[in-house]
Amino acid sequence: MSDGLAPRRAAALAYMAVMKQRRTLEAALEHTPEFAAMSDRDRAFARAITATTFRRLGQTRTVLNGLLSRPLHETSEGAQALLITGATQLLWMDGAPHAVVSSTVELADARSDARKLKGLINAVLRRVDREGRERLKPTLPRDNLPDWLRDSWRAAYGPGTLSRMANAITVAPPLDLTVKDPDTREHWARALDATILPNGSLRRDTVGDVRALPGYREGAWWAQDAAAAIPATLLTLGPGSSVIDLCAAPGGKTMQLAATGADVTALDLSEKRLERVRENLGRTGLSATLVAGDALTYKPAQPVDAVLLDAPCTATGTLRRHPEAAWIKRADDTGRMARLQDEMIKAAAAMLKPGGQLVLCTCSLQPEEGEALAGRVAGRHRQLKESPIQPDELAGVESALTPAGWVRLTPALWAEQGGMDGFFIARFTKRAG
């Protein structure tokens, strides 16, 4: 097989699986033939093609539609995937034009639904190479968002913030790390060639293989977006405090809580996902009780001091890391998820002692899963009262504090430093009696 053909084929197949089956990018890649047998380099190349494809899908489609006599969506599924992933490499990845075009044509020849179109694919990709960058000029990063998502963000945040968020999402994110022992933060910043962010996270401009980085084997740190590291810091905990981390996998927040000396129970619906939490705890030498179960029915032996609920959501705040999420979600998903979130808040409140704290967060930029959700708590969950977050608890992101005492983080924050994921955070206290 010619050099680079396997990862390019995997990328095209993964694109189809994401769009047709609404699989995540990683799951789609893992289900493609030969992906597991590829070298690390080829797997990384396949991931890069697919991630870039979804980061720039709207702009790439615009270029292709301008070069086709019929709309792209009327082309066969296989031909569409090959055109889009091929054009992505030419427009956004500086792929060697001859290698990109010849490999894509060879892949088309191997597919029954694209073979008759290989001449068209060859001609269009050659025009993309010659004319594509000029045809990109009228397009904008916000064109890479589905209409429903773009309209939602414009209404919620305004056109300026929409543009800044869309710009941030087109760029592959840096690597953020949470250090187990804050006293060693400066040491690991030097060892890792990292910057210390205002909230204490470390940030490396390059990602690479985290397992090869200093401190990984010792368990001195773990990978965790700076935004995702904030919710756990808003609980008042000390050694021996009892806390439940609901929807805990992959375990970043669990490890943050365990590092305070708290007695942590990490609960997740998926036993398989808890295996990753178990591995991370073992590597870092931290301790937590792991429970595979449903947050809606789980009852601790005794009420606890605190609950951290990272509620299931549409995850539109994580598009920097998971750009395919914009294309596998639908506008009506937010309503369905909001109903589940309401139920989980009720369950979380029942786990708390009187006076116990609940921190609710979602990695969503949709108001239905953030501001509107928190606003409903007073009416639907009367045992909970608001516990407004204070500016001095939000080092470096004080501007994210809302008048209600909630936190709204967006990819537009810290743009000059590489941005952050989108999160919503609110805090409540359980009433006595």
Predicted local distance difference test score (pLDDT) of residue 2: 43
Print pLDDT tens along the chain (433 aa). Answer: 446 899 999 999 999 999 999 999 999 999 999 999 999 999 999 999 999 999 999 999 999 999 999 999 999 999 999 999 999 999 999 889 999 999 999 999 999 999 999 999 999 999 999 999 999 999 999 999 999 999 999 999 999 999 999 999 999 999 999 999 999 999 999 999 999 999 999 999 988 889 999 999 999 999 999 999 999 999 999 899 999 999 999 999 999 999 999 999 999 999 999 999 999 999 999 999 999 999 999 999 999 999 999 999 999 999 999 999 999 999 899 888 988 999 999 999 999 999 999 999 999 999 999 999 999 997 889 899 999 999 999 999 999 999 999 999 999 999 888 999 999 999 999 998 6
Nearest residue to 30 (alpha-carbon basis) of 272, 349, 373, 336: 272
Distance of CA 430 to the CA centre of its chain: 30
Spell out the CATH class of 5-139.
mainly alpha
One-letter amino acid at 28 equals A
Find out whether 248 is annotated in a ligand binding site: yes
d(CA 248, CA 329): 22
Q: Is 8 exposed, middle or buried (0-12, 13-18, 19+ CB in 10 A)?
A: buried
Predicted local distance difference test score (pLDDT) of residue 3: 66
Find out whether 251 is annotated in a ligand binding site: yes
Per-residue b or e along 190-212, where b marks 16 or more CB atoms closer than 10 Å to that residue's CB: eebebeebebbbbbbeeeeeeee
Examine residue 173 and say whether the peptide bond preceding it is cis (omega within 30 degrees of 0): no
Q: Domain 219-430: give its CATH architecture.
A: 3-Layer(aba) Sandwich (3.40)
Residues of CATH 3.40.50.150 domain(s) within the chain? 219-430
Find out whether 220 is annotated in a ligand binding site: no
Backbone angles phi, psi at 238, to 5 degrees: -145, 180
Both structure tokens of 345: 């808040």
Find out whether 109 is annotated in a ligand binding site: no
Find out whether 300 is annotated in a ligand binding site: no
313 is catalytic: no
Per the listing, tokens 């870092």 go with 284
Predicted local distance difference test score (pLDDT) of residue 1: 41
Residues of CATH 1.10.940.10 domain(s) within the chain? 5-139
Q: Give me the catalytic one of 363, 373, 384, 394.
A: 363
Find out whether 310 is annotated in a ligand binding site: yes
Backbone angles phi, psi at 119, to 5 degrees: -65, -45
Find out whether 313 is annotated in a ligand binding site: no
Both structure tokens of 409: 């983080």
Looking at residue 19, the DSSP 8-state letter turns out to be H
d(CA 224, CA 266): 17
d(CA 307, CA 143): 39
DSSP track, 135-178: HHTT--GGGGS-HHHHHHHHHHHHHHHHHHHHHHHTS---EEEE
Strands of the sheet containing 175-179, edge to edge, are 195-196, 202-204, 175-179, 221-223
C-alpha torsion 250→254→256→259, nearest 10: -130
Q: How far is it between the farthest Cα atoms of the chain?
A: 75
Nearest residue to 140 (alpha-carbon basis) of 157, 159, 124, 155: 159
One-letter amino acid at 282 equals G
One-letter amino acid at 161 equals T
401 pairs with which residues across the strands?
407
Both structure tokens of 288: 């937590």
User: Are β-strands 289-292 and 263-268 bridged in parallel, bridged antiparallel, or unpaired?
Assistant: parallel
Per the listing, tokens 């799951």 go with 27
This prediction has a pTM of: 0.94
